[in-house]
Amino acid sequence: MSVVATIAPLQVMIFVLAPLAATAVVLTRDPLRMIVVNGVYGLLLAVMFVVFQAPDVALSMLVVSTIAYPLVVLAAVARTRAPKDLEERDDEDGEAS
């Protein structure tokens, strides 16, 4: 007697949603929106790991992809935009003097 594995509806749903979310990450052009979409994608991957009974990997994925990675990217974007803002303020102050 052979054991045939059946795919649960939740597994089918996660197999459909994960590639769609990955495609959305790639097609998003705005960096801030990409961070949000990437967080959703990471959350879907964490759910996928839970569905396939890997809770330790899911917890790591959840922390890294939905919390740590977006914070690091937001800090990097803010840091790279900050000098431009300072230069604009200096230009405005120089013209006003």
Residue boundaries of the structural domains of the chain: 9-96
Contact 56, 43 (CB under 8 A): no
pTM of the predicted model as reported, rounded to 2 decimal places:
0.71
pLDDT confidence of residue 79: 86
| pLDDT tens, residue by residue, 50-78 | 998 899 999 999 899 888 988 898 888 88
Crossing angle for the helix pair 31-51 and 9-27, to the nearest 10 degrees: 160
The whole-number pLDDT of residue 70 equals 85
Which pLDDT tens digit goes with each residue over 79-94?
887 666 566 666 666 6
Contact (Cβ atoms closer than 8 angstroms) between residue 11 and residue 31: no
